[in-house]
Structure 1
Amino acid sequence: MNKTWLVTGSSSGIGKALVEQLLERGDRVAATLRKTQALKDLAERYPEQLWLAQLDVNDAEAIRKVVKQAFTEWGRIDVVVSSAGYALFGAAEEVSDEQIKQQLQTNLVGSIQVIRACLPFLREQGGGRVLQVSSEGGQLAYPNFSLYHASKWAIEGFVESVAQEVAPFGIEFTLVEPGPTRTNFGAALVSPPQMAVYDKTPAGDVRRAVASGEFALTGDPVKMAKAMLAVADVQPAPKRLLLGSGAYERVHAALTERLAALEAQQEVARSTEID
């Protein structure tokens, strides 16, 4: 059965691949992006299925306006995909105050506001599904991506909480966690001026790996979009959808290490209760 989707950040990468696949199978899509020209070819090929709107997720009022228009014009939206975002790439003391603000505003606050704007409509229509694009970086961390990780770990906590709040209304969430993907990720990195003091540190190692191509981008955005399309039909909605074999291995190792550390502190944790 065909569905109606709302997809933010649809101009490139996984978002665009998802929109293309949805249109090909006959679904309707309300796609938002900062420059609508990026999907002009799709709009011409699918004039009855594709609804485009310009949107910068840093503008909360614009988010509310566009979301209202999308739900009003389509009548019902079954699946919301919040995928707008980017990565700030630099050691914590290198990045500027403005860059920190922009990273968190886009990846975290923007995603929060998209979800908040959609909830009343999803609730009134009796339910729906939200796919929030996070990252393997929502469960582990690399040097030089500290602010990006801050945004992803935070949106995961937000979604975990909101999912419990709105479950009685039939609204379900899945956190989508791609590993490094062969998109324009590297070119889209925002980087502050580098401090030479970090050259011979783990931060410097990651910089060189990204610059040389050793930081492997093995994920296929088309296959990842296909997996996202499929998970929207899974009942009940899984809390997370991890994408990429490398991502699976790294997250598995990170969670195993964290669980071992937790178990080692069991005695201390229990010793702090009131007698």
Structure 2
Amino acid sequence: MSKTYLITGVSSGFGYELTKQLLAKGETVIGTIRNDKNVQHLMEEYPDTFFRKFLDVTDVSAIQALVKKIFDHLDAVDVVISNAGYGLFGAAEELTDEQVEHIIATNLTGSIQLIRSVLPYLRKQGHGRIIQMSTYGGQVAFAGNSMYHATKWGIEGFVESVAQEMAPFNIGMTLVEPGGARTEFRYGSAQVAKLMPEYNGNPAHAFLSMLDPANGLAPGDPVKMAERIIESVDINPAPLRMVLGTVALDSTIDTLEKRLAEFKAQRELAASTDIVE
């Protein structure tokens, strides 16, 4: 049975790849974009199953209005994929206030408000799946990525909490944590702060090597990653997290094991602050 998907940010990256694969499978996709130059061919090839909608996810009232319009005109939306977002690189000191505010509005607040907006409709229809595109950088932090990590660690906590709230309503939620992939995210849409010479040679500028294709491309295949994400829709119960890519998984496991060891070493410290009756 075919499904209807609502996906934000479908003009490039994972959003585009997911949309392309879903349409080829006969699914219906409502995809949000800021410009339609990259999806014109999809509109022409799938006039009955692809519907592009213009949306700036930093505009909360626009999110709410679009969600209401979509659900008012459809019997159901089966899957919502919160994908819109971008990377911002540079030391914390190098970032402008505007850059900080915009990435929070896009990656964090935009995702939160999209999810909040669809919840009443998914509850009413009695089913649904929400997929939030995150990154293994939602678990692992690197220098020069502070605000990107702030948005992804934030959305991970939000989704993990809301997933517990929605489970009784037959609404599953999944955080997708890909490693580096060969998409526009790294090679095109990434934004870089105005770099300060004081940070030259500092770990904060290590990302410059990563962003240069001459140093080797990312190992992740966006086609295969999109396939795994689509397959996850039919997994019940919904997996809370999906890590995609060997490098991402190994780095996540290593980081969490070190973090766990640090916590376990603090048992005496933690107990020393308890009230003993």
Q: TM-score range by the shorter chain?
A: over 0.9
| Residue 213 of structure 1: how far off its partner (Å) | 4.2
Does the aligned pair in 2 maintain the 1:206–1:215 contact within 8 Å? no
> Is the 1:138–1:156 Cα contact (8 Å) retained in structure 2?
yes
Measure the CA separation in 2 of the matches of 1:215 and 1:65: 43
- Whether 2:149 is the aligned partner of 1:146: answer no
Does the 8 Å CA contact 1:199/1:205 hold for their aligned counterparts?
no
Structure 1 residue 39: deviation in Å? 1.0
Q: Say if 1:8 and 1:81, in contact at 8 Å, map to a contact too.
A: yes
SS at match of 1:38: coil
Structure 1 residues 77-124: Cα deviation after superposition (integer angstroms, max 9, x where no partner)? 011000000011110000000100001110000000110110111011
Q: Distance in 1 between matches of 2:195 and 2:57?
A: 28
The answer on 1:274 being equivalent to 2:275 is: yes
What CA distance in whole angstroms lies between the structure 2 residues aligned with 1:163 and 1:255?
21
Whole-angstrom distance in 1 between the partners of 2:216 and 2:161: 33
8 A contact 1:80–1:130 mirrored in 2: yes
Distance of 2:193 and 2:153 partners within structure 1: 22
Cα shift readout 1:156-209 (whole Å, capped 9, x = no counterpart): 000011111222211110000111110112321111211111112111333234
Uncovered stretches (5+) of structure 1, i.e. residues with no partner: none
Question: CA separation of 1:195/1:221 partners in 2, compared to 1, >3 Å: closer, same or farther?
Answer: same
Deviating beyond 4 angstroms after TM superposition, the runs of 4 or more aligned structure 1 residues are none
> Are the aligned partners of 2:129 and 2:233 in contact in 1 as well (CA < 8 Å)?
yes
Contact 2:28 2:50 in 1 (8 A): yes
Task: Work out the CA distance in 2 between the residues paired with 1:237 and 1:213.
Answer: 39
Compute the displacement of 1:232 (Å).
0.6
Deviates more, 1:125-134 or 1:209-218: 209-218
Distance in 2 between residues matched to 1:83 and 1:209, nearest whole Å: 22
Equivalent residue for 2:235? Answer: 234
Unaligned runs of 5+ in 2: none
- Indicate how the Cα distance of structure 1 residues 138 and 10 shifts in structure 2: closer, same or farther if over 3 A, else same: same
| RMSD across aligned positions (CA) | 1.3
Corresponding residue number in structure 1 for 2:33: 33
How many residues are treated as equivalent by the alignment?
A: 275
1:101-120 map, 5 Å:
101-120=101-120
**What is the rounded CA distance, in whole Å, between the counterparts of 2:230 and 2:209 in structure 1?**
35
**TM-score of the two chains, using structure 1 as the length reference:** 0.97
In structure 1, the residue corresponding to 2:101 is in which secondary structure?
A: helix
